[in-house]
Amino acid sequence: MARYFTEPSRTFSEFLLVPGYSSKECTVENVNLKTPVVKFKKGEKPALEMNIPLTSAVMQAVSDDRMAVALAKEGGISFIYGSQSVESQATMVARAKAYKAGFVISDSNISPDDTLQDVLILKRKTGHSTVAVTTDGTAQGKLVGLVTNRDYRISRMERDTKVSEFMTPLDQLIMAPAGTSLKEANNVIWNSKINQLPIVDKDGKLQYLVFRKDYDNHKENTAELLDNQKRYVIGAGINTRDYMVRIPALVEAGADVFCIDSSEGYSEWQRDTLEWVRKNYGDSVKVGAGNVVDREGFRFLAECGADFVKVGIGGGSICITREQKGIGRGQASAVIEVAEARNEYFEETGIYIPICSDGGIVYDYHMTLALAMGADFIMLGRYFARFDESPTNKVNINGSYMKEYWGEGSGRARNWQRYDMGGDETLSFEEGVDSYVPYAGSLRDNVSLSLKKVKSTMCNCGVLSIPELQEKAKMTVISTTSLVEGGAHDVLLKDNNLNYK
């Protein structure tokens, strides 16, 4: 007979945290969200920690080098997607590692022969008001001018007006030569009362833009995650097929930590991958594995040498694995059992292996629940796909701005390696969908708000750190009627005139 679990497969929405005693020290400002990323021995410090418990998913629609830099600035790690060529992924990693705080490679570029209409389209796509005008319209072409909101008036200009006619030309720009330090660049900005400073090389080619607004942002980025050379910490996704080629290239590019991107981690393919890493790199290369949903899966990957274990099958917003294959587990149930297995393993061996909750996060409070249930950090796809920094297009759907978002198991991504079971190099059927998510603005603003909610909830529980939350949290399973009671009900809301009963 099949083995049956006696408890239902539960999701985060079926639980609530019960308040604990809050002392006067329990304020949002006092909460510390630092968390381990890789395994460590009892009494020792982890080789890699994050300042916030958030990572972005190994997905084409989520994690590229721009996302990696943006999330590292906030204290988390982005795992740059691996469903691309080795060369392309290594280039993204190298670009993120080479990023200089404050020096921005322009991603809004246009040529002088383009039109106002082209500028408006580009502005809608990138969300940036400053457009660099280069001879060839590329990020590092020869600079000939800048276009900002002050250079045009939509109501008074024809859309086919050429950029060369209204841009601020080169001879009116204040610039600085390549090699200028960030301190020197900011001094020029403040002394000249300008909002942006182009950095150009000896041939007049654009290298970077330094923005006035980034000075304040940089000063506020107290949680930014840096390596020992003051570069941003960058993650990368790998698979169980070409790891012998991909991992060396990504190590050379500077990746700090890897994650095996797979829909199901309890497999011989993951064991082979981890064994190869340990044989060739020892413990110097950090690799997380997964995904698993129970005690046996965790124990298997722990004994194979995983640095962290990812938990969750079928809970992602674009994932249809459960529909297609009837396999998976409610995310809350999976995290609870794997966390118990992690703690048992720690008691037996003295080795703590962090676990990552991947999927099932619908509301911000689900993050706190996942952490309370035992997750050391969380991997998010849909959440990060909504932001300016994700690599997808911003589009207007029925009057509302949306961002494109698709699963790695969709026909669009066709990431067969993620679902590889040793067969042909094809995606036999889809396990993900192609969709849209509501556009939400900048990563910084949204992450800040989400983490304020997490910290506030932790204060309600009377705790100031994630380990303390996991030790002291009290939770209750809720009924369907509790869900109704928990939202607005029995009132007529002013915003949408819906009568809640």
> Which residue is listed with tokens 């911000």?
364
8 A C-beta contact, residue 469 and residue 372: yes
Exposed/middle/buried for residue 460 (C-beta within 10 Å: 0-12, 13-18, 19+): middle
Average model confidence (pLDDT) for the chain?
Answer: 91
Question: Which pLDDT belongs to residue 321?
Answer: 74
Q: How many CA atoms lie within 13 A of 290 on its CB side?
A: 32
How many C-alpha atoms does 425 have within 13 Å on its Cβ side?
A: 5
Q: What residues form DSSP beta bridges with 404? A: 436
Q: How confident is the model at residue 127 (pLDDT cuts 50, 70, 90)?
A: confident
Higher local confidence (pLDDT), 186 or 408: 186
Report DSSP state, residue 226. Answer: B
Q: How far apart are the first and last CA of the chain?
A: 46
Classified as helix, coil or strand, 111 is: coil
pLDDT reading at 467 higher than 80: yes
Residue whose tokens read 């991958």: 273
* pLDDT, position 432: 73
Could you tell me the CA-to-CA distances from 90 to 6, 93, 149, 255, 385 in Å, in that order? 46, 5, 36, 8, 22
Record the tokens describing residue 97, joined without a space. 């590692």
Looking at residue 495, its pLDDT comes to 67
Beta carbons of 77 and 55 less than 8 angstroms apart: yes
Q: What is the token pair recorded at 209?
A: 């833009």
Residue 265: both structure tokens together: 């981690």
> Which residues carry out catalysis?
319, 418
Q: What value does the mean pLDDT take over residues 146-164?
A: 93
Specify the amino acid at residue 450: S
What is d(CA 366, CA 15) in angstroms, rounded to the nearest whole number? Answer: 9
Q: Report the distance separating Cα 406 and Cα 408, nearest Å.
A: 7
Q: Is 424 left (phi over 0), alpha (psi -120 to 50) or beta?
A: beta
**Is there a contact between 391 and 130 (Cβ–Cβ < 8 Å)?**
no
Q: Which helix (H) or strand (E) holds 303?
A: helix 295-304
Please count the other Cβ atoms lying within 10 Å of the Cβ belonging to residue 447. 23
User: What is the distance between the alpha carbons of residues 238 and 306, in angstroms, rounded to a whole number?
Assistant: 13
Q: Which residues contact 87 (CB under 8 A, 6 or more apart)?
A: 249
Residue 500 has pLDDT above 50, yes or no: no
Amino acid at residue number 252: E
Q: For 191-215, what is each residue's pLDDT tens digit?
A: 999 999 999 999 999 999 998 877 7
What is the average per-residue pLDDT within 169-176?
94
> What is the C-alpha separation between 433 and 315, in angstroms, rounded?
13
Count of helices and strands (H, E) across the chain: 16, 24
Lowest mean pLDDT of 74-78, 268-272, 318-322, name the range.
318-322
How sure is the predictor about 501, in pLDDT bands with cuts at 50, 70 and 90?
A: very low
Provide the pLDDT for residue 318: 78
Q: In the block, which residue shows the tokens 């199901």?
A: 264
For residue 156, pLDDT over 50 is answered with yes
Closest CA to 58 of 324, 329, 445, 356: 356
For the segment 479-490, the average pLDDT, to the nearest whole number, is: 80
pLDDT at residue 411 tops 60: yes
Half-sphere CA count of 132, side-chain side, radius 13 A: 30
Give CA separation, 438 vs 56, 124, 445, in Å.
Answer: 17, 15, 15
Confidence of residue 418 (pLDDT cuts 50, 70, 90): low
- For tokens 């674009």, the residue is 318
- Range 215-222 contact pairs with CB under 8 angstroms and sequence separation of 24 or more: 215/102, 215/186, 215/189, 217/73, 217/444, 218/101, 218/102, 221/73, 221/74, 221/101
Torsion of CA 149, 154, 156, 162, to 10 degrees: 80
Tens-digit pLDDT profile for residues 279-317 = 999 999 999 999 999 999 999 999 999 999 999 998 888
What would the mean pLDDT of 455-463 be, rounded to a whole number? 98
Tokens encoding 135: 């001879």
In degrees and rounded to multiples of 5, residue 48 shows phi and psi of: -145, 125
Whether the ω angle into residue 291 lies within 30 degrees of 0, i.e. cis, is yes
